[in-house]
A and B are shown apart, each in its own frame.
Chain A
Amino acid sequence: DAKTTQPNSMESNEEEPVHLPCNHSTISGTDYIHWYRQLPSQGPEYVIHGLTSNVNNRMASLAIAEDRKSSTLILHRATLRDAAVYYCILRPPPPAQKLVFGQGTRLTINP
């Protein structure tokens, strides 16, 4: 399973943008970059995923480096409800099976 590296924790202020980095230098050509988050006392929640191009959805944006060895999840305007553990996961294309979670980045949002 391809490995990702994320900071253990990050802190930001409410209503400010947050950039969560992820390094994945051993990514293969067919691996998708997925982001999930886990709010306190809840199951993991899908955030966004991409292959090569940057992606935007209602929750976040995903910026993928040109060499695909790193990516950044961008929360454009953090709220207190965005406080969670964020996981960057590499996943083969469908019909892929399991998700392999690392320790993730614990994001704290200050009011």
Chain B
Amino acid sequence: EPEVTQTPSHQVTQMGQEVILRCVPISNHLYFYWYRQILGQKVEFLVSFYNNEISEKSEIFDDQFSVERPDGSNFTLKIRSTKLEDSAMYFCAVPGDWQETQYFGPGTRLLVL
């Protein structure tokens, strides 16, 4: 079962600031996914990333968002200019064997003030 860590666990930022959320899978993956969950709401898909390219994105993933694999191992989600409504838990996920399942990290709780 793949393990995924995310940093930071919590981040507080001012509206308009840039934030970078990091995801570090223990083993090497070509696929990864980002999801978010606003407090009290359902988990929502943001983007999937395959082999250094975005393979699918939701309408939530607008120009303020970007994803990267900066050094071949960890993955980042950048929000360029945060808004109050970006406050949420952000989860990254990687596929299991045969890509049939997804394994989620513990999440980053982002609070935009």
Contacts and interface: CB of A to CB of B under 8 A. Distances in A.
Interface of A: 32, 34, 38, 42-46, 49, 87, 94-104
B100 A43 contact: no
A57 to B, nearest CB: 11
A43 B44 contact: no
7 contacts: A43-B91, A44-B102, A94-B98, A94-B99, A95-B99, A98-B56, A99-B33
A101 B42 contact: yes
> For chain B, what secondary structure do more than half of its interface residues adopt (helix, strand, loop), or is it mixed?
strand
Interface of B: 31, 33, 35, 42-45, 48, 55-56, 58, 89, 91, 93, 96, 98-107
Nearest to A96: B99
A43 B42 contact: no
Contacts of A101: 35, 42-44
A46 B103 contact: yes
Contacts of A42: 106-107
Contact of B104 (A45, A49, A95, A102): A45
Nearest to B48: A97
B98 A99 contact: no
A49 B100 contact: yes
Contacts of B55: 97
A34 B35 CA distance: 17
Contacts of B44: 101
A36 to B, nearest CB: 8
Closest 3 CB pairs of A and B: A43-B104, A94-B99, A98-B45
A32 B100 contact: yes
Nearest to B100: A94
B48 A98 contact: yes
A99 B89 CA distance: 16
A98 B99 contact: no
A42 B96 CA distance: 18
Contacts of A98: 33, 45, 48, 56, 58
